[in-house]
Amino acid sequence: MENAQLVGLARQATLRRQLDLIANNIANVNTNGFKAQTLLLEETRQPQASADSFLTPDRPISFVIDDANLYDFQPGQMMQTGNPTDLALDGKGWFVIQTAQGERFTRNGSFAINNEGRLVTRDGDTVLTDAGPLTLAPNEQTPTIAADGTISTNQGVRGKLRVVDFANPGELKKIGETLFEGQNPQPATLPRVVQGQIEKSNVRAVVELTRMIAVGRAYESVAKWMQDANDLRRNAIEKLATVN
């Protein structure tokens, strides 16, 4: 009898995490370069080692666990901003950002030029080029960035943006601030850099809302049958405990 309650609890725990994930996707519906996540659920059978040689063998029960989250790496919508330091990547690839903890990767191209003349993120971390950080002189005009990532100013060609890609983007790890952590970046093939545009969040609001409704209803129905199972047990105890 308790097994039904335990299976229900397992489902409710995963549903709560699913709602957390949906909430995070919806909260970031306007975050540039944000990539939506979904939860991958899996069946686990208990007991793992069963004693099935008895007359009444152990019967396995299926529980649910959240095994992994999948990233939706589809590109977000492109928005024209008119800001020359806003960059978007058309196709696969990641900008490389130098942080205090090492190289990090982002699709959020909302960059700025800081007081030292460096191209930086909104947190002040340097955007890397093929030759490392690029420092513009004070009298240089706002750079023009060509489709292949070449940065030029009125002083001529100054460098090329570093754009990388990963063999398995699923191994990337979100660390917040729209940055990802990843191993073994490889130079991306044919990334097209678009200046004056920004990649918006790829959260699809309708999908998230439908998922949210489904999660809410599933949670209620689990709560309902857990209640039913509980009532059944209470009835049984009351009836069996009655003498005469």
Binding site for other proteins (CB under 8 A): 12, 15-17, 19-24, 26-32, 34, 37, 39-40, 66-71, 81-83, 108, 110, 112-117, 122-123, 136, 138-142, 154, 168, 170-171, 173-178, 205, 208-209, 212-213, 215-216, 219-220, 223, 226-227, 230
SS3 146: coil
Q: Pick the closest to residue 162 from 122, 79, 104 (CA basis).
A: 104
In the complex, the smallest distance separating the C-beta of residue 175 from other proteins, rounded to whole angstroms, is: 6
SS3 63: strand
In the complex, the smallest distance separating the C-beta of residue 105 from other proteins, rounded to whole angstroms, is: 14
Q: Pick the closest to residue 36 from 51, 17, 50, 23 (CA basis).
A: 23
Q: Which of residues 147 and 214 has its CB atom nearest to other proteins in the complex?
A: 214
Q: Are 108 and 76 in contact (CB under 8 A)?
A: no
Q: Are 22 and 60 in contact (CB under 8 A)?
A: no
Q: Which helix (H) or strand (E) holds 153?
A: strand 150-153
In the complex, the smallest distance separating the C-beta of residue 16 from other proteins, rounded to whole angstroms, is: 7
Token digits for 83?
A: 């800001």
Measured in whole angstroms, the distance separating CA 62 from the mean position of its chain's CA atoms is: 28
Q: Which of residues 147 and 213 has its CB atom nearest to other proteins in the complex?
A: 213
In the complex, the smallest distance separating the C-beta of residue 53 from other proteins, rounded to whole angstroms, is: 25
Q: Which of residues 148 and 171 has its CB atom nearest to other proteins in the complex?
A: 171
In the complex, the smallest distance separating the C-beta of residue 167 from other proteins, rounded to whole angstroms, is: 12
Partners of 92 in beta bridges: none
Q: Which of residues 86 and 129 has its CB atom nearest to other proteins in the complex?
A: 86
Q: Which of residues 137 and 147 has its CB atom nearest to other proteins in the complex?
A: 137
Q: Residue 35 and residue 74: Cα distance in Å, rounded?
A: 8
In the complex, the smallest distance separating the C-beta of residue 115 from other proteins, rounded to whole angstroms, is: 4
Measured in whole angstroms, the distance separating CA 170 from the mean position of its chain's CA atoms is: 10
Token digits for 242?
A: 């009655």
- Residue 4 burial by Cβ neighbours in a 10 Å radius (0-12, 13-18, 19+): middle
In the complex, the smallest distance separating the C-beta of residue 149 from other proteins, rounded to whole angstroms, is: 22
Q: Which of residues 83 and 150 has its CB atom nearest to other proteins in the complex?
A: 83
Q: Which of residues 148 and 227 has its CB atom nearest to other proteins in the complex?
A: 227
